């Protein structure tokens, strides 16, 4: 079939909206009140507002992600980062002491990068 025959068989029509004159609705919506009273910031914004602290946390998390991605310290599925680090020490794999210190302080995420993905 050629395209000319298809156009004749399936005629295209524009959809036109049905125009009906509706009277304006008289429904009363509650007025929106704005106040000049300052609102407290959202709870999420109040966490770690210090930029230096955020940068330090991001730097620490990047180091831990690199530790998670490094396969020479063994698999990381089914255990926390600290358990993996301790196992690597036990088997003489010489994991970085800085990673161990971060994990022992406890201000970082305990689960590995792969914990929620696999």
Cα–Cα dist 36/19, whole Å: 43
**Range in 15-24, 64-73, 97-106 the model is least confident about:** 15-24
Phi-psi region of 49 (alpha: psi -120 to 50; beta: other; left: phi over 0): alpha
Cα–Cα dist 15/46, whole Å: 51
Q: Is the pLDDT of residue 58 over 80?
A: yes
Percentage with pLDDT > 70 across the chain: 64
């Amino acid at each position: 079939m050629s395209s000319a025959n298809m156009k004749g068989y399936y005629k295209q029509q524009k959809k036109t909206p049905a125009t009906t004159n509706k009277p304006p609705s008289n429904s009363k919506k509650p007025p929106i009140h704005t106040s000049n009273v300052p609102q407290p910031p959202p709870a999420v914004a109040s966490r770690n507002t210090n930029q230096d602290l955020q940068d330090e946390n991001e730097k620490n998390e990047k180091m831990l992600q690199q530790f998670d991605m490094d396969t020479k310290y063994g698999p990381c599925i089914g255990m926390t980062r600290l358990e993996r680090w301790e196992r690597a020490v036990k088997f003489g794999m010489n994991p970085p002491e800085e990673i161990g210190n971060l994990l022992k302080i406890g201000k970082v995420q305990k689960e590995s990068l792969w914990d929620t993905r696999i």
